[in-house]
Amino acid sequence: MSELKLKDALDALKTSGVRITPQRHAILKYLISTESHPTADVIYKSLESDFPNMSVATVYNNLRVFRNSGLIKELTYGDASSRFDFVTHDHYHIICDECGTIVDFHHPGLEEVEHLASHVTGFKVNSHRLEVYGTCPSCASRAVTGN
């Protein structure tokens, strides 16, 4: 499944006139294969052994290209570091207050909130974002065991 997603993403970039470099290919492949919503620094550190001449700026620049092409979403959560998500269809996030882990979840009924907000206020709603905060199972178990 992820190979098909990678091929489709690379084809979309080529169609929009973006040259496919080995770094772009590797960054996209990393984003598709992870569910962790990484920062640019995490992506850089994960790929630096394969691309020793690649800089953090290269990662940021490529992420901007992917975001502008609609391939990824940039998520900001007030901790001054953007996280990146290859899943661009509507979904929601639950975020650990302790370690910052972000996990996707889906709930189809939440689109009703958009319709209600539009109806009540007269706004034309463009998008919405829902974040739920708590303690992930790993952090909860560490708190219980004292580790």
93 known ligand binder: no
Tell me the percentage of the chain whose pLDDT exceeds 90: 63
SS3 61: helix
Asked if residue 46 and residue 81 are part of one domain, the reply reads: yes
Asked if residue 99 and residue 52 are part of one domain, the reply reads: no
Q: Which amino acid is at 88?
A: T
Instruction: Report pLDDT digits (tens) over 106-130.
Output: 877 778 888 999 999 999 998 888 8
Question: What is the reported pLDDT for 147?
Answer: 64
96 known ligand binder: yes
The average confidence (pLDDT) of the chain is: 89
Q: Which CATH number covers residue 98? A: 3.30.1490.190
Q: Which CATH number covers residue 17? A: 1.10.10.10
Question: What is the reported pLDDT for 72?
Answer: 93
Q: What is the dihedral of CA 115, 119, 121, 124, to 10 degrees?
A: 60
- pTM here? 0.81
Asked if residue 72 and residue 53 are part of one domain, the reply reads: yes
Asked if residue 45 and residue 114 are part of one domain, the reply reads: no
- Is the model's pLDDT at 22 over the cut of 90? yes
Give the integer Cα–Cα distance in Å for 6 and 39. Answer: 19
Nearest 5 degrees, angle CA 104-CA 105-CA 110? 130
99 known ligand binder: yes
Overall number of domains in the chain: 2
Instruction: Report pLDDT digits (tens) over 66-102.
Output: 999 999 999 887 667 899 999 888 788 999 999 888 9
The region that residue 83 occupies, defined by phi over 0 for left and psi between -120 and 50 for alpha, beta otherwise, is beta
